[in-house]
Amino acid sequence: ALADLLPPLPEVPAPPGSGPHRGTWSDIGYHEEGQAGFLSFSFPGGAMSTAHCRRLLDAYRTARTRPTTVLVLGGGRDFFSNGIHLGVIEAAADPAEESWANINAMNDLVEAVLTTTDRLVVSALGGNAAAGGAMLALAADEVWCRSGVVLNPHYRLMGLHGSEYWTYTLPRRVGPALAERLTHEALPLSAAAAQGLALVDRTLPCPPGAFAAETERLAVRLAGLPATASRIAGKKAARERDEAVRPLAAHREAELALMRQTFFDPDAPYHALRRAFVRKERAATTPPHLVRAAAVRPSGVTGLAVPDAAPGPDCC
For residue range 221-257, what is the model confidence (pLDDT) as tens digits? 999 999 999 999 999 999 999 999 999 999 999 999 9
**Residue 45: what pLDDT?**
93
Contact 235, 141 (CB under 8 A): yes
**Residue 24: what pLDDT?**
73
- Worst-scoring range by mean pLDDT, 4-8, 49-53, 122-126? 4-8
Give the sign of the dihedral formed by CA 43, CA 48, CA 51, CA 54: positive
- pTM for the structure as a whole: 0.89
Reported as type and span, the H/E element at residue 289 is helix 288-294
Contact 160, 152 (CB under 8 A): no
Residue 198 pLDDT exceeds 90:
yes
Residue 148 pLDDT exceeds 60:
yes
Residue 12 pLDDT exceeds 90:
no
**Residue 310: what pLDDT?**
42
Residue 139 pLDDT exceeds 80:
yes
List, for residues 261-274, the tens digit of each pLDDT value: 999 999 999 999 99
Confidence class of residue 31 from pLDDT cuts 50, 70 and 90?
A: very high
Confidence class of residue 300 from pLDDT cuts 50, 70 and 90?
A: very low
Average pLDDT over residues 298-303: 47
Burial of residue 136, with CB atoms counted within 10 A of its CB: 0-12 exposed, 13-18 middle, 19 or more buried: buried
Structural domain spans, the chain = 28-294
CB-facing half-sphere around the CA of 67: CA atoms within 13 A: 1
Nearest-angstrom CA–CA distance, 59 and 62: 5
CATH, domain 28-294, list 3.90.226.10, 3.40.630.10, 3.30.70.260, 3.60.40.10: 3.90.226.10
Residue 303 pLDDT exceeds 50:
no
DSSP string spanning 32-59? EETTEEEEEE--GGG-B-HHHHHHHHHH
Residue 316 pLDDT exceeds 70:
no
Mean pLDDT (the chain, rounded): 90
Check residue 142 and give left, alpha or beta (phi > 0: left; psi -120 to 50: alpha): beta
Residue 297 pLDDT exceeds 80:
no
Q: Which amino acid is at 204?
A: L
List, for residues 109-128, the tens digit of each pLDDT value: 999 999 999 999 999 999 99
**Residue 22: what pLDDT?**
64
Q: Which amino acid is at 288?
A: P
**Residue 311: what pLDDT?**
47
Bridge partner residues of 291 (DSSP): none
Cα dist from 201 to 196, 227, 234, whole Å: 9, 17, 18
Contact 201, 304 (CB under 8 A): no
Question: Which residues make Cβ contacts (< 8 Å) with residue 157, sequence separation at least 6?
Answer: 186, 273, 287, 289
Average pLDDT over residues 73-86: 93
CA-closest candidate to residue 163, choices 31, 279, 24, 53: 53
Residue 211 pLDDT exceeds 90:
yes
Q: Which amino acid is at 219?
A: A
Confidence class of residue 314 from pLDDT cuts 50, 70 and 90?
A: low
Determine how many CB atoms are found less than 10 A away from the CB of residue 52: 23
Backbone angles phi, psi at 27, to 5 degrees: -85, -5
**Residue 21: what pLDDT?**
60
- 3-class DSSP state of 81: strand
Residue 65 pLDDT exceeds 90:
yes
